């Protein structure tokens, strides 16, 4: 099944650390990857928020996006996402209003509610139970100027909000009239797509138009890696899959390791199951194979944007995969010169 019409295309870079390198190298690589993605014609670049995780260097999306804004010139910059339970809505509004002053018209605010990775992290964040829907509404009031407090600086244009949604998050987004980014089991990649299809249909049925979003809007996010052969593409996924398997069995989500090191490891039966689950939830392969699977996914979900979240140890191979994916989806390299 060929792609009927290329969707918007973006990357989610979580600033993955790599064995043998300092965390700062991961952040510098995120900025360099963003500049490369803009030259390739990507529409948007997302960064994440994680705290106290050895394998991820990005803890402050607004700070990282400021660095990305300075290295790029045109495409959109987003958080995927700011975890709202960790922050006061006013502070988030101020951070992204300030960011929009440096990158007017380019800033998107993706919001989630995942808890801290471990109990010590949750304690350090002073995390408490909050009303996610109420916090989203309060934050929107600060950004659109309807709250009793005027955010300074006033945003340089709109700062659109997106919800990183699971089942209940879809309902909240529908009630508030916000676009959603969905991933994981809701996509039904490598499994039964029916629950995800029904959840997205429910979001669309319940959607209440808002000034930002007059109609339902969905982006899908998953690992997508492209190489010359299916075996090479599968190898690209191995470092991430191994890190996930270790986190599920040891509690530590560590830096990416080289493919050779992963292949030399002896996974337990439980780790092997997790390796297989990660592979099943991703889309990897040759350009033709990836195009066919993406076409089916986009047709099933009605998604308007693909958020490719793949990572691997070899940065050159990752850059080549980013370029191949842009070509698969019909995005062409821009005339922006290399730095």
The 3-state secondary structure of 22-47 reads CHHHHHHHHHHHHHHHHHHCCCEEEE
Residue 66 pLDDT: 98
Tokens found for residue 170: 């879809």
- Which residues fall within 8 angstroms of residue 142, CB to CB, at 6 or more apart? 89, 90, 93, 94, 149, 151
Tokens found for residue 150: 């005027």
Residue 339 pLDDT: 26
Give Cα separations from 9 to 91, 122, 208, 278 (angstroms).
29, 33, 26, 22
Segment-wise mean pLDDT, segments of 10 residues, the chain, 339 residues: 76 98 98 98 97 95 98 96 93 96 96 82 79 96 95 90 90 97 89 89 97 96 98 98 96 96 96 96 97 95 96 98 95 40
Residue 1 pLDDT: 56
Average pLDDT over the chain reads 93
Helix boundaries (H) for the chain? 23-40, 61-71, 89-102, 119-124, 132-144, 167-176, 194-206, 230-250, 259-264, 269-280, 287-301, 315-328
Interstrand relation of 218-222 and 224-226 (parallel, antiparallel or unpaired): unpaired
What 3-state DSSP class applies to 136?
helix
pLDDT digit string, tens, across residues 20-69: 999 999 999 999 999 999 999 999 999 999 999 999 999 999 999 999 99
The domain spans of the chain are: 8-231+282-328
Residue 142 pLDDT: 96
Predicted structure pTM score: 0.94
CATH number attached to the domain at 8-231+282-328: 3.20.20.30
């Amino acid at each position: 099944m060929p792609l009927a019409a290329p969707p918007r295309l973006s990357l989610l870079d979580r600033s993955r650390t790599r064995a043998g390198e300092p965390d700062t190298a991961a952040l510098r690589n995120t900025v360099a990857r963003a500049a490369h993605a803009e030259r390739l014609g990507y529409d948007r670049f997302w960064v994440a928020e994680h705290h106290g995780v050895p394998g991820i260097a990005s803890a402050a999306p607004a700070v990282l996006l400021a660095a990305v804004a300075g290295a790029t010139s045109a495409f959109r910059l987003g958080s995927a996402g700011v975890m709202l339970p960790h922050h006061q809505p006013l502070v988030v509004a101020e951070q992204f209003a300030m960011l929009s002053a440096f990158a007017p018209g380019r800033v998107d605010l993706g919001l989630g509610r995942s808890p801290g990775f471990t109990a010590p992290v949750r304690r350090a964040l002073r995390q408490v139970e909050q009303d996610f829907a109420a916090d989203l509404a309060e934050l929107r009031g600060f950004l659109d100027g309807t709250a009793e407090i005027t955010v300074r600086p006033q945003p340089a244009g709109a700062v659109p909000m997106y919800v990183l949604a699971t089942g209940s998050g879809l309902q909240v987004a529908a009630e508030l009239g916000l676009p959603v980014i969905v991933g994981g089991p809701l996509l039904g990649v490598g499994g039964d797509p029916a629950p995800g299809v029904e959840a997205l249909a429910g979001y669309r049925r319940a959607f209440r138009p808002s000034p930002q979003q007059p109609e339902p809007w969905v982006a899908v996010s998953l690992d997508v890696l492209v190489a010359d052969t299916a075996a090479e593409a599968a190898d690209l996924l191995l470092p991430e899959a191994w890190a996930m398997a270790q986190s599920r069995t040891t509690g530590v989500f560590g830096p990416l390791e080289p493919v050779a090191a992963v292949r030399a490891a002896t996974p337990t039966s439980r780790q092997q199951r997790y390796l297989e689950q990660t592979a099943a939830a991703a889309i990897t392969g040759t350009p033709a194979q990836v195009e066919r699977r993406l076409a089916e996914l986009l047709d099933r979900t009605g998604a308007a944007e693909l958020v490719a979240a793949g990572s691997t140890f070899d940065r050159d191979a990752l850059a080549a995969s980013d370029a191949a994916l842009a070509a698969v989806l019909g995005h062409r390299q821009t005339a922006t010169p290399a730095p």
